[in-house]
Chains A and B, each alone.
Chain A
């Protein structure tokens, strides 16, 4: 009995290890959200999963592995076999910021980028009753009262923090301001409304959530919904701090076979253009930004280097 079992087990191990790109995929694909169920990333993946599954011809399920600003999931995935059955949706912070500020077991070369899915520029905003109408007002106020004005963030190293750093380091006033980090954007926005912090930055989606006045957008051109808000370049913020996007895409561990990468990339492309996902994106305010594997790889590596300057400026 035991012998039969061990032979069967050995056979199964052999079968499992001889993954052929030919037959891929022969079992369900796991899409990992490095954040909690019900968060923005999680819902995006859940919106994508059925269309991705249809395109690749196998099941795809979303699992959540939250913790450490996404680094726990990325660290765990990095140690997995690159078989194409485990993919994570990683954002700019998880893939390019965190590995440069924390001693995580992954770095720039740990991944096979599959495709980028979404990207939206960040904005700096103040509450609707704030006296500041533009960035000149802000610079003047900070210079008039150094060490008085406070900017918030959803946590050290988060995209909200980097938005603030880009703006205030880019204008040379960051040393005269205070940084107040919160646990997540919700509490920070509450304090912005209450007046305990004066500035906050996040994507367009969040700006629309309340009575807020955006002052600058970190994009290469003005955005459609806020034609009166100047770009960072226009207010005098120089590269590389003048553009900041919250982008994200699917990554597999490094060393994925090219045939498997190609299949995943094709499925991702088909899923992103699918009617269902487009409708989902329109509803949820997701700004779709698709890049194929090769293009995404170049973009990701360029971002990794560019963000080093941002980290330096943030003092992280």
Chain B
């Protein structure tokens, strides 16, 4: 494949290649930055265009729009506290407090650099180690995945700003919401109360947009209006200087690694990576105590990880023909349409195409930096409109975004209801990030738990005795839960 790189670069540098790269990335950033509109809608918008293009540009366009929209999502998350996707929910936790302090530009700078580095490293890993990582993914059966998700669930404690009890409760509400609809093993309906709209359960995005974006509008309507017309002072991205990175490299490296590894495992995804990385950052970073109050390390942990997932998710897609997430599934389908059969022989049979995709992915991540800075400068005046216009536009855009997720007006009701309930809960100090974690991880937790019980004939202990990876992950999860308790007891003891 490496020998095909010159040909691949020639394709990328052709007029069509460059056009697709730049236009796709810009479009993705803009769509992602709109509150309520995330990657799903962005991809749906460009999909019809890709059908008329040749294979390599079609895939590059999808990748550019996807990577751009994930990055763009962090802009909305930091500036107005309205993540467009679950994976930028963790970015809000520190990004928005920084923006409130008047450091919006710098917060975005951290997010941009972390995103770009996460993406670039994952592109390099993808180019050089895809087969090895794919073999690693095969080690992760249902039981190992269960242990990993369990570890992911412990993040709820780390992202519970304020009360841990309330955070855990919000997490349980999130998991419960994810159980509504069809049972994953038997297909029987649960908690639908005869309503066929609920057969498909509550849509994750409708709930996320409701409890974050819509409830944010309600929160602002309920508090005293700022006399200053500006929402947040922002004049464009300010890149952190090299000296500011001092002591943060370890956190960055760890976050990129977490994103890569989790991205490789099918069925986990960017939101899981962002939260796990955030929790790990909080535990191990020297600045861990400041997490949740506007600590750059929190932004770095979440953004580096969720961007590194993109490259990771391409590994099983390209090496095994198994899509790593929803977006890689679209890419595989697009390949099929062009007469290419995804599968283990994909790389062997289409070296130029794969080299183009991989190097295109690298270039897209490079483009995020200049395009992000340019667009943020252009967009800065938009943020100077009065709060009234911004809040009204957010509600309307959320409606558009959620409608296009499944083409179902029922999801709009879910979004409205989630917004109202999110508003009530947020007023009482319930953090919303745990609810999102619960809803993201809940389905996989239940599915893999019950799959594991089928495989072990109902013996839960056998999850850990026969599966060393699961054992290590399980012990880590228990330790992650108990350590904060032990530490606080120690503190009390010495005080």
Which residues on A are within 8 Å of B, measured CB to CB? 32, 36-40, 42-43, 46-47, 62-69, 71-73, 75-76, 101-105, 147, 150, 155-157, 178-183, 186-187, 189-191, 193-194, 196, 205, 208-211, 280, 282-285, 316
Q: In the complex, are the beta carbons of A210 and B337 less than 8 A apart?
A: no
Question: In the complex, which residue of chain B has the Cβ closest to the Cβ of A106?
Answer: B196
Q: In the complex, are the beta carbons of B337 and A186 less than 8 A apart?
A: no
Q: In the complex, are the beta carbons of A157 and B138 less than 8 A apart?
A: no
Chain B nearest CB, measured from A69 CB (Å): 7
In the bound complex, residues from chain A placing their C-beta under 8 Å from that of B142 are 180, 191, 196
Q: Contacts A43-B337, A67-B199, A181-B184 known; A189 to B322 CB distance under 8 Å?
A: yes
Chain B nearest CB, measured from A207 CB (Å): 10
Which residues on B are within 8 Å of A, measured CB to CB? 40, 43-44, 47-48, 51, 137-139, 141-142, 181-187, 189, 194, 196-197, 199-201, 203, 266-267, 316, 320-323, 326, 329-330, 333-334, 336-339, 341-344, 406-408, 443, 447, 451, 454-455, 457
How far does the alpha carbon of A238 sit from the alpha carbon of B483 in the complex, in Å? 60
Q: Contacts A181-B185, A194-B138, A209-B321 known; A186 to B199 CB distance under 8 Å?
A: no
Q: In the complex, are the beta carbons of B322 and A190 less than 8 A apart?
A: yes
Q: In the complex, are the beta carbons of A196 and B455 less than 8 A apart?
A: yes
In the bound complex, residues from chain B placing their C-beta under 8 Å from that of A63 are 407
In the bound complex, residues from chain A placing their C-beta under 8 Å from that of B341 are 208-209, 285
Most B CB contacts (10 A, CB to CB) among A182, A186, A210 go to A186
Enumerate 30 A-B pairs (CB-CB under 8 Å) in ascending A order: A37-B47, A38-B329, A38-B334, A46-B47, A63-B407, A64-B44, A66-B200, A67-B201, A67-B203, A68-B201, A69-B182, A71-B200, A72-B199, A75-B196, A102-B199, A103-B196, A150-B455, A155-B184, A178-B455, A182-B451, A183-B443, A187-B266, A190-B137, A190-B316, A196-B141, A208-B341, A210-B321, A283-B336, A284-B337, A285-B336
Question: In the complex, which residue of chain A has the Cβ closest to the Cβ of B137?
Answer: A190
- Starting from the known contacts A75-B197, A209-B342, A285-B336, 20 additional A-B residue pairs (CB-CB under 8 Å) come to A37-B47, A43-B336, A47-B337, A62-B48, A67-B408, A71-B199, A75-B196, A156-B182, A178-B455, A181-B184, A182-B451, A183-B184, A186-B323, A187-B322, A190-B137, A193-B320, A194-B141, A282-B339, A283-B339, A316-B187
In the bound complex, residues from chain A placing their C-beta under 8 Å from that of B443 are 183
How far does the alpha carbon of A293 sit from the alpha carbon of B334 in the complex, in Å? 30
Question: In the complex, which residue of chain B has the Cβ closest to the Cβ of A36?
Answer: B326
Chain B nearest CB, measured from A159 CB (Å): 13
Chain B nearest CB, measured from A194 CB (Å): 4
Which 4 interchain pairs have the tightest Cβ spacing?
A67-B200, A38-B330, A156-B187, A68-B199
Most B CB contacts (10 A, CB to CB) among A36, A69, A76, A155 go to A36
In the bound complex, residues from chain A placing their C-beta under 8 Å from that of B183 are 156
In the bound complex, residues from chain A placing their C-beta under 8 Å from that of B138 are 190, 193-194
In the bound complex, residues from chain A placing their C-beta under 8 Å from that of B267 are 183, 187
Q: In the complex, are the beta carbons of A37 and B189 less than 8 A apart?
A: no
Q: In the complex, are the beta carbons of B338 and A186 less than 8 A apart?
A: no
How far does the alpha carbon of A187 sit from the alpha carbon of B323 in the complex, in Å? 8
Chain A nearest CB, measured from B268 CB (Å): 11
How far does the alpha carbon of A177 sit from the alpha carbon of B141 in the complex, in Å? 19
B189: which of A66, A102, A209, A282 is its contact (CB, 8 Å)? Answer: A102
How far does the alpha carbon of A178 sit from the alpha carbon of B185 in the complex, in Å? 12
Q: In the complex, are the beta carbons of A186 and B266 less than 8 A apart?
A: yes
Q: In the complex, are the beta carbons of A40 and B333 less than 8 A apart?
A: yes
